[in-house]
Amino acid sequence: MASIARSLQRIKNRSLALEGVLEPDAAERVFREHGHEWRERELPPATTLDLFIRQVIDGNVSCGAVRHGADEAFTGGAYCQARSRLPLAGITGVCMTAARQVRVAYESDGPPLWHGHRTFHVDGTSFSMPDTPALQQTFGQPGGQKPGCGFPVAHLLVSFDAATGMLLDAVPAPMRTHDLRDVRWIHRHLNTGDVLIGDKAFGSWAHMAMLQQAGLHGVFPLHQRRPTCGASDRIERWPKPPLKPAWMSGQEFDALPNELKVRVVRRTIHRRGFRPMTVHLVTTLLDEQTYPAEELIELGRDRWFAELNIRHLKTTMGLDVLKCKSVDGVLKELAVFCLVYNLVRAVMLDASSAQGVSVDRISFADALAHLRHGRGMSTPVRLMTNPLRPTRREPRAIKRRPKEYDRLNRPRDQMRKALKYQEKAA
């Protein structure tokens, strides 16, 4: 079986950055470090992980379809069993280490900074999975669905490097989880002086105080419950709330200061063809001279790129609906999706450098297609460039109508019995 590094050589010049961790010996060493032992089989751990990565690159196809692109003969059931034997900690370790190497390879090129600060985006989303008792118990389902009629849905907190679009972390949790509950896992990737950008859910007193205590900065829309009157660029002192948030422990809350000093910025944005829009931001970047209000507003608007990256993950790559029927399987799928996403971003970064355009204008779908179908090792690769349309607005609406079938409003076994009763009555 070809090595993982060879199967991913379409990453062009950056393939050498992956060779150390994705070679079979290195991958198996990580599995042994996590206590995984195995017998000599047709599908050892490194080969199974290689196939797993190819499976996600090819559109997360079925286990039965994976065997058609392999060099050796095996059944879809054999591959599925081999994948289930891989330890979750080991596969997560390999995938996250490889993703880190990809990011480090591009960070060494010196990504652009914003006033000397690295910037990062954070946002929350969700994904679905098969309806099994274990997944229902672990993640839960939307409250509007009757038992037996809905699918488990997981909450996912993700963070991206704003300069490169690389995925830093993806933290899954039960569906009814606030975005801030796991935000401390996002902070572990940040260094002193880094700036975190998100939506208004992240602009709470407790989170802003956590950032300031750790030497970090935040730029978030002002929460709708905060008063918006006053100067357009002012310093405010927020007293500590009397009650701690549910997602924080009492010890963590007690360690926060009694008062928080923040800066609130208000600007009205005029866009041709649209009504004026007033934007309120709150930030821990207090110096008006070093951080002009207009640039802060523009920085806050860039958080939309997190939404685009999530769309690439869920729609273009297929993370929206995972296929494993066990909790460990779902978490393994998620880890490999994160790795493949960063591999696609690596292709985009190479193409943007060669074509002299911003990486945000390189087509993610075309980069994924190149990683999936591209042949040869010619460099540099040229990918589709999206036109620059900063004022383009499209409604969040679906034009294609769904098929006119009844909704499953009762458990499937009950509806089967009803059909049999109707057939006998007829």
Using DSSP, state whether 149 is helix, strand or coil: coil
| CB of 168 closer than 8 Å to CB of 102 | no
Q: H/E element holding 52? A: helix 45-57
Task: Write down the pLDDT at residue 253.
Answer: 93
Stated as kind and residue range, the H or E segment containing 282 is strand 277-283
Strands 119-128 and 195-197: parallel
Q: Are 331 and 155 in contact (CB under 8 A)?
A: no
- What CA–CA distance (Å, rounded) separates 294 from 265? 9
Nearest to 384 by CA among 411, 365, 403: 365
d(CA 180, CA 374): 40
Mean pLDDT by 10 residues, the chain (426 residues): 43 43 74 81 84 90 86 86 88 75 68 87 95 94 83 95 89 94 91 94 94 94 84 91 91 92 89 79 93 92 92 95 94 92 86 87 92 67 84 81 85 86 76
Is 2 in a helix, a strand, or coil? coil
Contacts 24+ apart (CB under 8 A), 293-301: 293/232, 293/233, 293/265, 293/267, 294/267, 295/115, 296/219, 296/265, 297/265, 297/267, 297/269, 299/114, 299/119, 299/195, 299/197, 299/219, 300/197, 300/219, 300/220, 300/221
- Could you give the C-alpha distances from 93 to 34, 156, 186, 298, in angstroms and in order? 9, 19, 17, 36
Closest by alpha carbon to 334, among 131, 133, 152, 96?
A: 96
In eight-state DSSP terms, residue 283 is E
In a 3-state reduction of DSSP, which class is residue 130?
coil
Go through the chain and tell me how many residues it has. 426
How far, in Å, CA of 118 to CA of 115, rounded? 9
* Residue matched to tokens 């002009």: 292
- Cα 317 to the center of its chain, rounded Å: 11
- Residue 209: per-residue pLDDT: 94
The pLDDT assigned to 12 comes to 39
The pTM is what?
0.89
